[in-house]
Amino acid sequence: MMQSSQSVNHKSLFLRACKCEPVERVPVWIMRQAGRYLPEYRAIRQKHNFLEVCKTPELAIEVSLQPRRILGVDAVIVFSDILIPVGAMGLPFELSDKGPQIEQPLRTTAQVGKLSVFDPERETGFLMDAIRGLVRELGPNVPVLGFAAAPWTLACYMIEGHGKDGFPAAKTMLYSDPELFRNLLERIAHATAIYLRAQIAAGASAVQLFDTWVGELTLEQYREFALPATQLLIEEIGAGDTPVILYTKASSHLLTAAAKSGANVLSVDWRVDLATVRKQVGPRIALQGNVDPCVLLGPEEQVRRAARAAVESTGGLGHILNLGHGILQQTPVENARAFVQAGQAAAVAGTAQVEGAR
């Protein structure tokens, strides 16, 4: 029988799933779960711009908690943005609903050399305060997740200045000055490791690295540039028992290499079959995902079927149910709730043995 939400230790459930340990059911959360599909979020955004919400702990706490209250998700990810460290490293930027704009994108050795490793409590203390506030608000039984961009993805924005198909400026630096590019990736890795250590110290139960644009690389390029920087970052976090989740998009050709990053969990998009990925990466790395966000725009029963099918593909072991990318703003709230509830109710292989051992 399904346990009531009040009786579930969501943090224990989440951490066991990250470690591929037996679970009563899969934990469920949604990338970009605090966002514009929620009327409550839109009400706050009518009064405050995006960066103001990120940099005001009380507002960040409130919007972070909304999906927990409204959908009943098992984990709360702190509301922030992957570009927050960019400003702290000395590269001013603007954020709007249209995306990021960096005033002076990186183009030269001199610019890269000026990037600083920052003190996260001093330069980004608002985020640490938000995490501490969420931990106080949620108590010991609900995990708070921190996050940052992986080095390749953050470098793409820092060089390009904004999102762009293919990130040609980033690729130009990679081809024309590979040593400079490696230097940039290593600088990002060092700064991000300190940033994520501070999030863990503030109370984050797990941290996620977003490598959204890594699918732009060939396997050879990934092994030569992105993977070493990600390995360096994860090694320098020194997270210990705190799981590190690595999200990659459009990366089916990279997953066996990504499994060597040091991450405890690989979060994958909807283009890959979870059962196939499990065979590729083995039983010791947990998987997160991977329902197509567009499924949540369709009929509710289809949403429920997709959630159940994702869990069935892994047997629920070593699996955190999520979407394959961020939830879309057109998503009906009732469909998001149906996704969470269906995943939480889905049968898990070995459930009887786990419950019988209690």
Residue from 16, 25, 37, 45 carrying the catalytic annotation: 45
Q: Can 45 be counted among the known catalytic residues?
A: yes
Q: Can 157 be counted among the known catalytic residues?
A: yes
Whole-number pLDDT of residue 6: 60
pTM (two decimals): 0.95
- Name the 3-class secondary structure at 47: coil
- List of residues 6+ apart from 174 with CB closer than 8 A: 181, 221, 225
Residue from 16, 25, 32, 68 carrying the catalytic annotation: 32
CB atoms within 10 A of CB 42: 12
Whole-number pLDDT of residue 354: 36
- List of residues 6+ apart from 93 with CB closer than 8 A: 83, 86, 87, 100, 101, 102, 103
Q: What is the pLDDT along the chain (358 residues), one digit of tens a residue?
A: 344 456 789 999 999 999 999 999 999 999 999 999 999 999 999 999 999 999 999 999 999 999 999 999 999 999 999 999 999 999 999 887 677 889 899 999 999 999 999 999 999 999 999 999 999 999 999 999 999 999 999 999 999 998 878 899 999 999 999 999 999 999 999 999 999 999 999 999 999 999 999 999 999 999 999 999 999 999 999 978 999 999 999 999 999 999 999 999 999 999 999 999 999 999 999 999 999 999 999 999 999 999 999 999 999 999 999 999 999 999 999 999 999 999 999 999 864 333 333 3
Q: Can 32 be counted among the known catalytic residues?
A: yes
Residue from 157, 195, 222, 247 carrying the catalytic annotation: 157
CA distance 97 to 200: 28
Whole-number pLDDT of residue 357: 32
Whole-number pLDDT of residue 350: 62
- The distance in angstroms from the start CA to the end CA of the chain is 14
Structural domains present in the chain: 35-284 (3.20.20.210)
Whole-number pLDDT of residue 352: 36
Residue from 81, 177, 273, 292 carrying the catalytic annotation: 81
